[in-house]
Structure 1
Amino acid sequence: MLQDAIDVLNKFTESFNNEDTEGMDSTLHFPHVFPGPNTVIWNEPGQLKKEFFDKLKSQGWAFSRYTKQEPIYESNTKIHFRVEYERCRSDESVINLQRAIWILTKKDEKWGIQIRSNE
């Protein structure tokens, strides 16, 4: 169960690094929620615009990598993770560190990222 969820996290980031939005969407459950003062809800795949990666690359981004994937709550249908990931340049120097709580849920026998709450 836990390894299946971690595999989803890794597939998400592999797809992210390849700018593969369809691959990223395949790791998400919808509605997909970004809570906060201006909560964003994606009701279906295809919501991330290609310009997102253009903006990252303009800041020197080449890839992202996890520094932490820590399960902090687990049940048979939901796992909360404390994740940290670095956004890096091609020389592996770090642009910034992102900290978040991501919640994965199991729906129809498939694990997917349901909620991403970043700092």
Structure 2
Amino acid sequence: MKAFNSRDAVAWAKTVHYPHIRIAGGQVQVWNTPEEYAQSNDARQLAEASTWARSAWTYRKLVQKSDDKLHFVTRFTRYDANDKPILSADSFYVIVKKDGRWGALVRSSYVGVIGKKTAF
């Protein structure tokens, strides 16, 4: 969340594993490299297209775990510059330990669609 809120697409791309899969808005997206991910997940675009200023976890609940995989049920909230909530969405994260590092491999959320473009 810290990398996302920083609007640093390269830093955010380093928090996930590849191939990275996202299911949202009736679409399945797959990124094979950090470069692909950073190019299409620039949080500055979200800020420019909406009143979004930051996001925060409402909750994160670990529902299953093994030594190298974690399943989280989550909810996040997006806020405007006045710290007013503008959207909350439930999601599911699969976090895996790969090459000695934990990162998100799969995300599925109920963010939906803003206009004709899926919101990230």
Does structure 1 residue 41 correspond to structure 2 residue 30? yes
Of 2, 15, 20, the match for 1:32: 20
Does structure 1 residue 20 correspond to structure 2 residue 5? no
Shift of 1:51: 5.8
Greater CA drift, 31-40 or 46-55: 46-55
User: 1:100 is aligned with what amino acid?
Assistant: S
Aligned partners of 2:62, 2:72: CA distance in 1, in Å?
Answer: 4
Q: Note the residue ranges of structure 1 that are not aligned, 5 or more in a row.
A: 1-12
Equivalent residue for 2:89?
A: 98
Higher helix share: 1
TM-score relative to the length of structure 1:
0.81
Does structure 1 residue 80 correspond to structure 2 residue 68? no
Equivalent residue for 1:65?
A: 56
User: 1:29 is aligned with what amino acid?
Assistant: H
User: 1:61 is aligned with what amino acid?
Assistant: W
1:99-118 to 2 correspondence within 5 Å?
Answer: 99-118=90-109
Equivalent residue for 1:4?
A: none
Aligned partners of 2:100, 2:46: CA distance in 1, in Å?
Answer: 35
Q: Is the contact between residue 5 and residue 54 of structure 2 (CA under 8 Å) also seen in structure 1?
A: yes
Alpha-carbon distance change, 88 to 106 in structure 1, aligned in 2, over 3 angstroms: same
User: 1:42 is aligned with what amino acid?
Assistant: W
The RMSD of aligned alpha carbons is: 1.7
User: 2:14 is aligned with what amino acid?
Assistant: S
Q: Note the residue ranges of structure 2 that are not aligned, 5 or more in a row.
A: 111-120
Shift of 1:34: 1.3
The count of residues paired between Structure 1 and Structure 2 equals 107
> Identity over the aligned pairs, expressed in percent?
25
TM-score relative to the length of structure 2:
0.81
